Amino acid sequence: QVQLVESGGGLVQPGGSLRLSCAASGSAFSTYAMGWYRQAPGQQRDLIATISSGGSTNYADSVKGRFTISRDNAKNTVYLQMNSLKPEDTAVYYCRSSRGPNNYWGQGTQVTVSS
C-alpha cells in the first residue's frame, strides 16, 4: 500500500509559478512510475506529466515547455514545477503512483490561476 500526499497548491497570478510536491509513504518508491494529473470543474481528469522509475519524462502538449516533473527517491517525493501559469491551468492536481497492476492516488491540491 502506498499513500500519497500532495502539497504546494494555492492562488497565483497569471505568469506566476508554483511547485507542487507529492510525498509517498512505503518502501520501493524508486520502482514506481509517477504521474501528475489535473481535473478542472466539470472536466475529466487529464494526465499532464509522467516520470518513469528510470527518470524518463513525458508531458501533455498543453504544459510542455512550462511544467517540469522530477523525483527525489531519497525523499520519496515527486515534484511538479509549474511556470508561466495561465488561467486555464486552474484545476485540482493529483499525483499517482503506478507499478504493474497497482495504482495509487493522492487526495489532490487546488491550483487557482487568477488576477
Per-residue pLDDT tens digits for 21-38: 999 998 899 999 999 999
Predicted pLDDT at 97? 96
Q: Is residue 22 within 8 Å of 2, Cβ to Cβ?
A: no
Under a CB-based contact definition with an 8 Å cutoff, are residues 70 and 78 in contact? yes
Helix (H) or strand (E) holding 11: strand 10-12
pLDDT of residue 115: 96
Q: Please tell me the predicted confidence (pLDDT) of residue 27.
A: 81
Buried b (16+ CB within 10 A) or exposed e, 48-74: bbbbebeeeeebeeebeeebbbebeee
Q: For 43-83, write each residue's pLDDT tens digit.
A: 999 999 999 999 999 999 999 999 999 999 999 999 999 99
C-alpha cell at 62: 498543453
